[in-house]
């Protein structure tokens, strides 16, 4: 019996070797697409970043990233009664590199406007002979921050670490979508690793929840990254958003978490830009709460 099994193994192995062929796989690089990251917030000017998508195998270095910015585009925003053409701005960085973005043209303030609650906005982009568009809404501030405070973490190894706690109220009726950011001391606002939530579970309730510290996604995350430090001054930015903005960040953050996971399913990021571009145009109804994390 052992001889028969061994012979069968040899036969199968011979067949596999005989059928083996060299594979010459040619990887076709797709044409770069326009990537739009545009937002408007209550009491804030509209802000638009335009870049080109990278090939999967592209080397990510400062030179390549700078070249990805889309320059000299015609970018317009409208609030239904005013149409304003945004101006391109440059932020110089170290090493001779720059970041480019589009925002309000201070020389044309007659048509300029800041975001307002419960109002719809449209975006038009004309570049390279193509036109792209999107709409968004800044909703009302319906989900309210009641209070924020810090608490110790008895099971954590560092006694100076603090968790940020939030008490909030969700109004009755489904459809209140939020995205949150945190700011620590003099740093920038960063979104949470999972920053968007709906109200399927907490609809119509007042609840208390721990809020993780916002993260810079390009930086390494150490153990305890989600906590703050004792005596940090922390500002929570809680934003009501519309469904399209929620869907974009929900699918984008799922895609982030799937990178490098061989068992994850491919995720389609749900943008709202027409014309074949990637990305989104989102409206944010923001509220803020600041706390000094004491004992």
What's the CATH number where 157 sits? Answer: 2.60.40
Tell me which of 111, 138, 165 is where a domain ends: 138
More confident position, 263 or 5: 263
**C-alpha distances in Å from residue 205, one per residue of 143, 169, 201, 238:** 10, 6, 9, 17
Instruction: Identify whether residues 263 and 150 lie together within a single domain.
Output: yes
Instruction: Identify whether residues 52 and 118 lie together within a single domain.
Output: yes
d(CA 143, CA 81): 28
Tell me which of 138, 161, 177 is where a domain ends: 138
Would residue 6 count as lying in a domain? no
Per-residue burial over 73-105, b = 16 or more CB atoms within 10 Å of its CB, e = otherwise: bebbbbbeeeebebebeeeeeeeeeeebbbbbb
More confident position, 30 or 95: 95
pLDDT for the residue numbered 24: 56
Would residue 8 count as lying in a domain? no
Instruction: Identify whether residues 171 and 94 lie together within a single domain.
Output: no
pLDDT for the residue numbered 257: 79
Q: How confident is the model at residue 220 (pLDDT cuts 50, 70, 90)?
A: confident
Selection from 30, 11, 29 nearest residue 19 by Cα: 11
pLDDT for the residue numbered 136: 98
d(CA 41, CA 150): 27
Q: How confident is the model at residue 27 (pLDDT cuts 50, 70, 90)?
A: low
Instruction: Identify whether residues 159 and 288 lie together within a single domain.
Output: yes
pLDDT for the residue numbered 4: 43
Cβ–Cβ < 8 Å for 136, 281: yes
CA triplet 257, 263, 268: central angle to 5 degrees? Answer: 55
pLDDT for the residue numbered 71: 96
pLDDT for the residue numbered 249: 97
Give the predicted TM-score (pTM) of the model.
0.85
Instruction: Identify whether residues 132 and 245 lie together within a single domain.
Output: no
pLDDT for the residue numbered 6: 43
pLDDT for the residue numbered 3: 43
Instruction: Identify whether residues 181 and 121 lie together within a single domain.
Output: no
Cβ–Cβ < 8 Å for 152, 162: yes
Cβ–Cβ < 8 Å for 12, 85: no
Instruction: Identify whether residues 237 and 259 lie together within a single domain.
Output: yes
- Whole domain around residue 102: which residue ranges? 34-138
Q: Is the pLDDT of residue 133 over 50?
A: yes
Q: How confident is the model at residue 262 (pLDDT cuts 50, 70, 90)?
A: low
pLDDT for the residue numbered 28: 52
Question: How many other β-carbons are positioned within 10 Å of the β-carbon of residue 50?
Answer: 24
How many C-alpha atoms does 143 have within 13 Å on its Cβ side?
A: 31
Per-residue pLDDT tens for 168-182?
999 999 999 999 999
Instruction: Identify whether residues 263 and 157 lie together within a single domain.
Output: yes
Q: For 192, phi and psi rounded to 5 degrees? A: -65, 160
Instruction: Identify whether residues 69 and 109 lie together within a single domain.
Output: yes
pLDDT for the residue numbered 21: 55
d(CA 82, CA 40): 15
Cβ–Cβ < 8 Å for 179, 191: yes
d(CA 195, CA 184): 16
Instruction: Identify whether residues 132 and 164 lie together within a single domain.
Output: no
Tell me which of 121, 138, 155 is where a domain ends: 138
Instruction: Identify whether residues 227 and 247 lie together within a single domain.
Output: yes
Worst-scoring range by mean pLDDT, 1-5, 97-101, 136-140? 1-5
pLDDT for the residue numbered 31: 82
Q: How confident is the model at residue 146 (pLDDT cuts 50, 70, 90)?
A: very high
The total domain count for the chain is 2
Per-residue pLDDT tens for 81-123?
999 999 999 999 888 899 999 999 999 999 999 999 999 999 9
Q: Is the pLDDT of residue 155 over 80?
A: no
- Residue 152, classified by CB atoms within 10 Å of its CB into exposed (0-12), middle (13-18) or buried (19+), is middle
pLDDT for the residue numbered 259: 65
Task: Calculate mean pLDDT across residues 43-70.
Answer: 84
d(CA 130, CA 126): 6
Worst-scoring range by mean pLDDT, 84-88, 201-205, 223-227? 223-227
């Amino acid at each position: 019996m052992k001889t028969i099994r061994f012979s069968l193994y040899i036969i199968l192995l011979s067949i596999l070797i005989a059928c083996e062929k060299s594979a010459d796989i040619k990887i076709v690089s797709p044409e770069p697409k326009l990537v739009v990251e545009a937002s408007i917030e209550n009491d804030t000017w509209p802000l638009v970043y335009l870049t080109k998508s990278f090939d999967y195998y592209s080397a990510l270095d400062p030179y390549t990233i700078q070249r990805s910015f889309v320059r000299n585009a015609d970018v317009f925003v409208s609030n239904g009664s005013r149409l304003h053409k945004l101006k391109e701005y440059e932020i110089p960085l170290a090493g001779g590199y720059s970041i480019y973005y589009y925002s309000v043209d201070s020389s044309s303030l007659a048509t300029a406007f800041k975001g307002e609650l419960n109002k719809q906005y449209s975006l038009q982009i004309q570049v390279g002979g193509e036109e792209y568009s999107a709409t968004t809404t800044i909703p009302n501030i319906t989900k309210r921050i009641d209070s924020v405070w810090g608490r110790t973490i008895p099971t954590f190894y560092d006694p100076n670490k603090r968790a940020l706690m939030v008490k909030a109220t969700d109004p009755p009726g489904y459809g209140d979508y939020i995205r949150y950011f945190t700011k620590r001391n003099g740093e920038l606002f960063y979104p949470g690793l999972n920053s968007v939530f709906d109200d399927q579970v907490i609809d119509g309730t007042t609840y208390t929840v721990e809020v993780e510290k916002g993260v810079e996604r390009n930086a390494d995350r150490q153990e305890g990254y989600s906590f703050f430090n004792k005596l940090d001054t922390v500002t929570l930015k809680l934003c009501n958003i519309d469904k399209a903005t929620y869907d974009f960040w929900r699918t984008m953050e799922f895609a982030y978490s799937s990178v490098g996971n061989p068992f994850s399913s491919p995720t389609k990021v749900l943008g709202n830009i027409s014309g074949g571009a990637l990305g989104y145009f989102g409206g944010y109804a923001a509220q803020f709460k600041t706390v000094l994390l004491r004992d």
